[in-house]
A = this chain, B = another copy of it.
Amino acid sequence: MVDVVVVGAGLSGLVCARRLREAGAEIVVLEARDRVGGRVVNEPIAPGQVVEMGGQWVGPSHTEIRRVAAEVGVDTFPTYGEGKHLFAHAGRTTQFGGDIPARMPFGLVDFRIAQARLERLARHIDLGDPASTPRSRRHDTLTVETWIRRHMHTRSGRNLMRLMVKAVLATEPSELSLLHWLFYIASGGGLNSLVRADGGYQQDRFVGGSQEIALRLADDLGERVHLSAPVRRIEHTPEGVRVHTDTTTYDADAVVIAVPPHLLTTIEFCPALPATRNQLSVRMPPGMVTKFVAVYDEPFWRATGLSGQATLTSGPIGVTFDNSPPGGSPGALVAFALGEDARALENLDADERRAAVLERLAELFGPSAAEPTQFHERCWAREQWTRGGYAGIFGPGGWTSFGKILGRSHGRLFWASAETVVHAHGSMDAAVSAGERAAVEALATCLAEVPASR
């Protein structure tokens, strides 16, 4: 018997649980995996040093996750970005400063015009209900790839836009609704904000890695967090909820389901959820991403004036960053394989993947890059409690059909997860906002149970 069961010990669930505890509620957090953090996870690379293999960066507008990090004593530090960035395109690698490679001026003009056009369209979107206008519903019938082919005119400009989509959402432009892309641009404060380090989504990192926040939140919750406890079934009535794992049953006033919409299908609900919620659960898949981290004794690229940041318009990796811990020792480069590139890499074995990624890193940063002291990979689609990354996205029609119900509670069932929040949709910041919103909702249900005399 508890007041609230929280399903999922990602950032959303843990923050939700914390707020519920602060309000005096008895809670339990049930996590399917053998660790906390969900889509946020650290990997040790040296004594006391980690790299992040999941969500890791925060921008200046990510005030919610920053607040929670501060609460549990986790500091931020700036993403390393000094020196020249690299741009690999059409068989050549060039260096540049600023956000966008200055090479191929025609392509760049094409890209800039398209960006301005997208941002203009994005400004008209009602973030609270993106499919509210005939025009936005029209945009929801198109893929981003269709828009690119229709409105962009150079091969290099198109490829740069495709790469931006892949880097920002880990999905192919052909899989994505134009409306989702516009919504996401609006939600993130413009395309520059989404792709930039300085002043943008990649500005800062957390000391000790982003999972450190989850670990500390879980520490504070203590034995209330149960690992390796997948929820199989939830019975819900107007009187209460009953949550079943393989070994235990919990009765509660409310349950917060802090997993992305597509993982609702892992739980049997009795009675079944409404039709539209069931449909949403199969219509908001995550993208596809594999994160690779190569570790070196030192960040050797810094000495040659390189930032470690690279943008590649042909695979198998699309983006790299310097991912060294604060202080720069050891050195670490992170590389992202995105969308179809990541799926293609899954046809190789681990050694072949490593060779393919290191070969590309060596082309960018020199032969030293081919000899890391450690090599880590994390393909989020291999994990059945995630099935992809970064977050849930909508193909054409998704916002039109399901946009209004994303975060809408159902009786004593409340939804958290980064997909249910408008601001910085899909980010760690949204995960926190969602957890806090769901905590408030669940508390209202618990309070309604308290006899007036108490």
Contact = CB atoms under 8 A, between A and B. Distances in A.
Interface string A266-287: 1011001111101101110110
Contacts of A285: 279, 282-283
Contact of A268 (B174, B230, B262, B379): B230
Interface stretch (A114-122, A396-404, A421-429, A430-438): A396-404
- Copies of this chain present in the complex amount to 2
Interface in A232-273: 232, 246, 262-263, 265-266, 268-269, 272-273
Interface string A378-394: 01011110011000000
B232 A265 contact: no
Contacts of A281: 387
Interface in A121-171: 140-143, 145-146, 149
B262 A174 contact: no
B382 A272 contact: yes
A441 interface: no
B384 A272 contact: yes
A140 B173 CA distance: 11
A145 B141 CA distance: 6
Contact of A396 (B246, B384, B387, B396): B396
A346 B279 CA distance: 12
Interface string A352-382: 0000000000000000000000000001011
A275 to B, nearest CB: 4
Contacts of A143: 141-143, 146, 396
A249 to B, nearest CB: 11
B274 A346 contact: yes
A172 to B, nearest CB: 5
Contact of A346 (B141, B145, B272, B275): B275
A288 interface: yes
A258 to B, nearest CB: 17
Contact of A397 (B172, B265, B279): B172
Contacts of A346: 274-276
A395 to B, nearest CB: 4
19 contacts: A32-B268, A140-B174, A141-B145, A141-B173, A143-B143, A174-B400, A175-B396, A230-B268, A262-B282, A266-B268, A273-B384, A274-B382, A275-B343, A275-B381, A276-B343, A278-B388, A282-B387, A283-B285, A395-B395
Given A140-B174, A265-B384, 12 more contacts: A141-B143, A232-B246, A265-B266, A265-B387, A272-B382, A273-B384, A276-B346, A279-B285, A279-B381, A282-B388, A340-B400, A343-B401
